[in-house]
A and B are shown apart, each in its own frame.
Chain A
Amino acid sequence: NAGVTQTPKFQVLKTGQSMTLQCAQDMNHEYMSWYRQDPGMGLRLIHYSVGAGITDQGEVPNGYNVSRSTTEDFPLRLLSAAPSQTSVYFCATQGSTLGGPTERLFFGSGTQLSVL
């Protein structure tokens, strides 16, 4: 099992360009989320999804769009990249019980994005 796969691992963009960060999971987890990691800031939640067709905003959603058409995939779109979006991005999944998601997150290996 690959777990949570993120592509690309590295990306350099110019201000104003758009791109999509891919996240795919083979764990059959309903819950998926995107985080960004910045120095001195820890990991901050961007968007999350509780299942196919359902997404919601996290702590820092501005400048990012998401969609969830399948259980396996949860892409993160930057419509017009800005230098403030230079960061390391992590996709994560959570399993579920009858009562909702479990507490443990499984992370991908990350995408390092630089916006010039």
Chain B
Amino acid sequence: DQQVKQNSPSLSVQEGRISILNCDYTNSMFDYFLWYKKYPAEGPTFLISISSIKDKNEDGRFTVFLNKSAKHLSLHIVPSQPGDSAVYFCAAILGGYQKVTFGTGTKLQVIP
């Protein structure tokens, strides 16, 4: 049972435009949601997180929105840059922060 789902395996966006990556989850008890970015042959790196008690968190060009009623979160990147081309994983944490559930990832390509 996939508790965290990223339904779009890939996304292409023009440089300077907005990139929107989506993530759905099934467990309403998740405490925290995170986004990780992964380049080929490297480990994932933390990008941004949001607590379940908030609906928005912003860090520079990256904003994460949480819609608890829809069990949906999204990552907005504005403006998109070629260096943003990577695989983005959505992740959720349920209590204790030790067990992290990841989505399947979305490969973002930003076209110059």
A85: chain B residues at CB < 8 Å are: none
Interface of A is mostly: strand
Task: Give CA–CA (A112, B97) in the complex, Å.
Answer: 26
Q: How far is the CB of A97 from chain B (nearest CB, A)?
A: 9
Residues of B within 8 Å of A, CB-based: how many? Answer: 25
Residues of A within 8 Å of B, CB-based: how many? Answer: 27
B6: chain A residues at CB < 8 Å are: 42
List the A residue with the shortest CB-CB distance to B44: A107
B-side residues, CB < 8 A to A, are 4, 6, 31-32, 34, 36, 41-46, 49, 89, 93, 96-105
A-side residues, CB < 8 A to B, are 4, 31, 33, 35, 40-45, 48, 50, 58, 90, 92, 94, 100-110
